[in-house]
């Protein structure tokens, strides 16, 4: 079973806001509602979830995380993958994000490899707005964040 880890960044402006990312690549290109999620990625063999969450988030955002991560627990996504999340209060400019790239054969069965950013966009959202556009199986992280930081 696949297991990923990520970080739900938050800030106060003065309202609580969270940073969500939109996955890059052709499969997500025309999807919006239900596509936004926390930056995350697979945990490598022998790697602890917190280290993986920090590494994957920094790769997908292209910025260093400053400070200690606080756990938000685990959820099982609709496809069966487990996700372990952490949170960190840190402000950043979504326009400054520089995601790492991945390659896939595109179009399918074409024999042509194309590169795409893992993250096509990032946005700060109020918690209520985030609930409406977030991948539904990751919404428990929002509720846990609100319970943790108020």
Tell me what pLDDT residue 40 has.
96
Residues 131-144, mean pLDDT to the nearest whole number: 96
Residues 102-110, mean pLDDT to the nearest whole number: 89
What are the pLDDT digits (tens) for 33-84? 888 999 999 999 999 999 999 999 999 999 999 999 999 999 999 889 999 9
Distances (CA, A) of 112 to 43, 105, 145: 28, 5, 42
Instruction: Produce one character per residue of 141-150: b if its CB has 16 or more CB atoms within 10 Å, e if not.
Output: bbebbeeeee
Matching residue, tokens 């846990």: 144
pTM: 0.91
Tell me what pLDDT residue 58 has.
96
* Domain 3-149 listed as CATH 3.90.79.10: yes
pLDDT over 90 at 31, yes or no: no
- Residues composing the chain: 150
| For the chain, domain boundaries | 3-149
């Amino acid at each position: 079973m696949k297991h990923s880890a990520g970080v739900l960044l938050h800030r106060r402006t003065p309202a609580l806001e969270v940073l969500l990312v939109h996955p890059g690549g052709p499969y997500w290109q025309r999807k919006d509602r239900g596509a936004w999620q926390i930056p995350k990625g697979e945990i490598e063999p022998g790697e602890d979830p917190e280290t993986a969450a920090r590494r994957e988030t920094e790769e997908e955002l292209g910025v260093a995380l400053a400070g200690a991560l606080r756990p938000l627990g685990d959820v099982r996504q609709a496809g069966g993958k487990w996700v372990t999340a952490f949170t960190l209060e840190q402000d950043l400019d979504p326009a400054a994000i520089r995601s790492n790239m991945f390659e896939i054969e595109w179009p399918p069965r074409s024999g042509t490899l194309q590169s795409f950013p893992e993250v096509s966009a990032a946005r700060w959202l109020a918690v209520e707005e985030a609930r409406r556009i977030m991948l539904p199986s990751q919404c428990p992280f929002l509720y846990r964040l609100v319970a943790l930081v108020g």
